[in-house]
Amino acid sequence: MAGSREARLAALRGRIAAIEAGTRTPTPVLPFGDPAIDDCFPGGGLPLGGWHEVVGAGLEDETGAAPAVFAGLLLRSLMASGTRAGAVVWVARRSDLFAPGLTGLGVSTDRLIQVRARDEAETLSVLEDALATQGVAAAIAEAEPPDLTAGRRLQLACEKRGGLGLVLHRRPYGGGKARAVSGSASFSRWRVAPAPGAPPPDDIGLGPPRWRVALERCRGGRPGGWILEQQEAGHGPHPFRLVSELADHDVSAAEPLRRVG
């Protein structure tokens, strides 16, 4: 019942945002479950029917681990919300996506379709086709930053079926420097990096994973920066918990709410 109530509230926020923006069709959103994050978006959550960029920091530009986990937890939230039903397509040039790892995040892989692309152009082409296909709830691609033309095509594909699109920036296959673009048609841009985790209550083993997450850009909204902790599946509809205090770490308690330019 709680998940259903969250979905209704998210839909209501989308209608209000559509009315304020003067658009006819409300945009469904995927809320994070905390006003500190959701209020950064004009509709009260991550909008569906659009695509978003997720960027790593440091070595994550090569491994893509933290962005992939962030994307996986967003998929878990999407599946739990009941807002969108259908397949999930994951497109990449490499073959290192570990499906059991997604299961460990609480993502059902029964609906997962993995596609191995030959080059960057094919990666974006498959992503566009997937987003425009009926029965696809979300599509993810590991790719270089799309240029404005490719980005606009992705946006049109998202709007056609109302799916969620994610582009995980990853260094080109075989090394080299990633291509930079001056602009983007994405709705939002995120930067994700690992953060020190808190020890478990009994000091045995490891505590829940944490990440430094920065919303660097959001169309019609405002940026923000937080430290998020993974919430185990079955502990509510939202996979992230906002960390308000960081004991025993050289990080101020106010840092999770720091605004970034």
Q: How confident is the model at residue 23 (pLDDT cuts 50, 70, 90)?
A: very low
For residue 240, which phi and psi values (nearest 5 degrees)?
A: -115, 150
| Residue 95 pLDDT | 85
Q: Is 167 exposed, middle or buried (0-12, 13-18, 19+ CB in 10 A)?
A: buried
Q: Is the model's pLDDT at 140 over the cut of 90?
A: yes
Residue 256 has which token pair? 């999770």
The CA-based angle 31-32-37, given to 5 degrees, is 105
Determine the length of the chain: 261
Tens-digit pLDDT profile for residues 155-210? 999 999 899 999 999 876 555 555 555 457 899 999 999 988 877 777 676 778 89
pLDDT tens string 84-122 = 778 999 999 888 888 888 888 888 888 899 999 999 999
Dihedral sign of CA atoms 245, 232, 97, 190 in order:
negative
Instruction: Round to whole Å and give the CA distance between 198 and 210.
Output: 8
d(C-alpha 235, C-alpha 42), whole Å: 27
Q: Is 193 helix (H, G, I), strand (E, B) or coil?
A: strand
Query: pLDDT, tens digit, for every residue of 25-53?
Result: 567 899 999 999 999 999 899 999 999 99
> Residue 9's pLDDT band (boundaries 50, 70, 90)?
low
The pLDDT score that the predictor gives to residue 81 is 79
pLDDT value at 249 more than 60: no
Distance of CA 56 to CAs 51, 109, 143, Å? 17, 24, 12
Residue linked to tokens 């050289």 = 250
pLDDT at site 179? 57
Q: Mean pLDDT, to the nearest integer, of 133-160? A: 93
Query: Residue 124 gets which letter from DSSP?
Result: H
Contact 215, 203 (CB under 8 A): no
Q: Could you tell me the domains of the chain?
A: 46-200+209-257 (3.40.50.300)
Cα–chain center distance at 78: 10
* Euclidean distance between CA atoms 170 and 57, whole angstroms: 10
pLDDT above 70: percentage of residues in the chain: 76
For residue 86, what pLDDT is reported? Answer: 87
Q: What is the pLDDT of residue 84?
A: 74
The answer to whether 178 touches 203, Cβ cutoff 8 Å, is: no
Residue 12 has pLDDT above 80, yes or no: no
Report which secondary-structure segment, H or E, holds 68.
helix 65-81
Virtual torsion, Cα 215, 231, 33, 46, nearest 10 deg: 40
Please say if the pLDDT value at position 261 is more than 90: no
